[in-house]
Amino acid sequence: MTRASSVQDVPHRPRQTDLRLFRILIPYAKQNWRLLLTSLVFLIPLALANSAQPIVVGQAVSLAQGEPVMWFLEGRSLLEGIRILILLLVLTLVVQLSLSGVQGYLIQKVGQRITASIRDDLFIHVTSLATRFFDRTPVGRLITRLTSDVDALGDVFSTGAIGVVSDLITMLVLIVVMFTLQWQLAFLLLMFLFPITGLIIYFQQQFRQANYRAREELSALNSTLQENIVGINVVQLFRREQFNAQLFRTINQRYITEVDRTIFYDSAVSATLEWVALAAIGGVLWLGSLLVMRQTLDFGILTSFILFAQRLFDPLRQFAERFTAIQAGLTALERVSDILNEPIEIRDPEGAR
């Protein structure tokens, strides 16, 4: 009655690329295009406010050191200039906090609407399938698709897609501002982005595979549990309690092993980002110190670039935090699409009431 089914026992369609998976969500996103467009409009002022803060701090240092400052600070005393810079810093913080709060609310709202629409369509599709589909599909596996997999889809938009776009715009604005101020330090920081991008892509691929296997083992675990509970009379009649318990422990151990792999790759991304960020700050301090000693760089600009080095890797850190949600959502979307692609063999004739 019950066997230790593994992910190899379940037939799969060819794996879909991330782009094809996102295309599945496009019709649902179009239903909420106004909210999506509003949240995207907020990205540019948020990125500008984030980029302005290191410049304000650097101008404060330059003003205190008696170095050249921007036009609105020229000819002003230290106290008067500091007051202006404090007002500018508070203004950027207010803009950043208020817009990020509104944007976060809109994105979460879109994610919940998309999740609800997919859940409705999935239920209608499943209830229209032929009986033989349910004969070959364990109920526990189907319940996992309809519940936990669908819930993970909302994170693809609310935590993932819009967040990644926001991070890319923030990094692009930071890079443009840095090259405007000092191209040598900006080029140094830009060089640190290439190796970390390659590592993130590698870990993303490994995490995706491990997460897919983990969710398949979770489906097998739910199926085994459902079969034993529904058929408890048969299990007890044939005295299979200990045997089935051992089968359940085997599947549970496989699930734990796959989850441990996802944890490893998730932790590897975060740890790698931290090390590269520290190396980037060290590189800025080394090159910046040489330029300051040669009197080709002001100390205030060096201070700004130390903050830029931290801000430049903040979007990558946030991506690492979204990393798990994005990959889990794409894995869930791939599994849900398998059910949505099941053909409906029996249809009502056109025009029937």
Mean pLDDT to the nearest integer, 206-213: 82
Question: Which of 220, 277, 205, 275 lies closest to 8 in space, CA to CA?
Answer: 220
Joined together, the tokens standing for residue 256 give: 């734990």
Q: For all residues of the chain together, what is the average pLDDT?
A: 82
pLDDT at site 35: 83
Under the banding of pLDDT at 50, 70 and 90, the label for residue 176 is very high
Under the banding of pLDDT at 50, 70 and 90, the label for residue 184 is very high
Under the banding of pLDDT at 50, 70 and 90, the label for residue 266 is confident
- Name the 3-class secondary structure at 267: helix
pLDDT at site 3: 47
Q: In this structure, what is the dihedral angle of CA atoms 34, 39, 40, 42, given to the nearest 10 degrees?
A: 130
Q: Which residue has the tokens 């919940």?
A: 112
Say if residue 227's pLDDT is above 50: yes
* CB count in 10 Å sphere of residue 2: 19
Joined together, the tokens standing for residue 291 give: 């330029």
The alpha carbons of the chain give a radius of gyration, in whole angstroms, of 27
Query: Per-residue DSSP letters for 134-150?
Result: HHHS-HHHHHHIIIIIH
Under the banding of pLDDT at 50, 70 and 90, the label for residue 18 is low
Mean pLDDT to the nearest integer, 26-42: 83
Each residue's pLDDT tens digit, 324-338: 677 777 777 777 888
State how far the Cα of 297 lies from the Cα of 178, in Å rounded to an integer: 13
Each residue's pLDDT tens digit, 115-139: 888 888 888 888 888 888 887 877 7
pLDDT at site 10: 43
How far is the CA of 189 from the CAs of 59, 165, 221, 271, 283, in angstroms? 21, 21, 47, 19, 8
* CB count in 10 Å sphere of residue 238: 11
Q: All domains of the chain, ordered by start, with CATH?
A: 17-340 (1.20.1560.10)
For residues 35 and 95, the answer to whether their CB atoms sit within 8 Å is no
pLDDT at site 84: 92
